[in-house]
């Protein structure tokens, strides 16, 4: 579970590196705690620097987010253990998320880390299909 004011890594190529959770969306229970697959609102705390080159290739690789932006994200890893139906628990070394827009489409087009398998059952199959490894 991930609470408010929790910082997390952003593992897509949208340009954000670290974000802080400020709201958990559509969670009826848990007192504002987010689990894997929940949609949250984040503030970007650290982002990749925006290059000043004006070439055509640099324009296509322009960063999509900046420091201080308020965006939506999907939680893909949590330190808090998650119980699987077979009785096992899975937990990760860090909290991580992937940025999405208001239409639930990913902002980045690549994912640079491991994601949890629970995302597929929570309706985020696109994130699972782009991830290099699913645990």
- Looking up residue 21, the CATH number of its domain turns out to be 2.40.150.20
**Position 53 in a domain:** no
Q: Which domain holds residue 82?
A: 6-48+64-134
**Position 38 in a domain:** yes
**Position 1 in a domain:** no
Domains contained in the chain, number: 1
Using CA atoms, how far apart are residues 115 and 45, in angstroms rounded to an integer?
A: 22
For residue 11, the Cα-to-chain-centroid distance in whole angstroms is: 6
Are residues 36 and 122 in contact, defined by beta-carbon separation less than 8 angstroms? Answer: yes
Q: What is the mean pLDDT of residues 115-131?
A: 95
Residue 135's CB: how many other CB atoms inside 10 A?
11
**Position 119 in a domain:** yes
Q: What is the mean pLDDT of residues 95-105?
A: 95
**pTM, full prediction:** 0.88
**Position 42 in a domain:** yes
**Position 59 in a domain:** no
**Position 16 in a domain:** yes
Q: What's the pLDDT at 31?
A: 74
**Position 54 in a domain:** no
Q: What percent of the chain has pLDDT over 90?
A: 78
Percent of the chain that is helix, strand, coil (3-state, to 5): 10, 35, 55
**Does position 76 have pLDDT exceeding 60, yes or no?**
yes
Are residues 72 and 39 in contact, defined by beta-carbon separation less than 8 angstroms? Answer: yes
The vertex-116 CA angle with 31 and 85, nearest 5°, equals: 75
Q: What is the mean pLDDT of residues 27-39?
A: 82
CA contacts within 13 A on the Cβ side of 93: 2
């Amino acid at each position: 579970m991930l609470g408010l004011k929790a910082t997390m890594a952003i593992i897509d190529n949208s340009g954000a590196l670290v974000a802080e959770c400020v709201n958990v969306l559509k969670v009826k229970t848990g007192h504002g705690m987010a689990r894997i697959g929940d949609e949250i609102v984040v503030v970007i705390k650290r982002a990749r620097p925006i290059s000043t080159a004006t070439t055509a290739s640099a324009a296509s690789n322009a960063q999509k987010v900046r420091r201080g932006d308020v965006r939506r994200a999907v939680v893909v890893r949590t330190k808090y253990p998650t119980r699987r139906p077979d009785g096992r628990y899975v937990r990760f070394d860090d909290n991580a998320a992937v940025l999405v827009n208001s239409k639930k489409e990913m902002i980045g087009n690549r994912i640079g880390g491991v994601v949890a398998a629970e995302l597929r059952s929570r309706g985020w199959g696109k994130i699972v299909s782009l991830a290099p490894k699913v645990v």
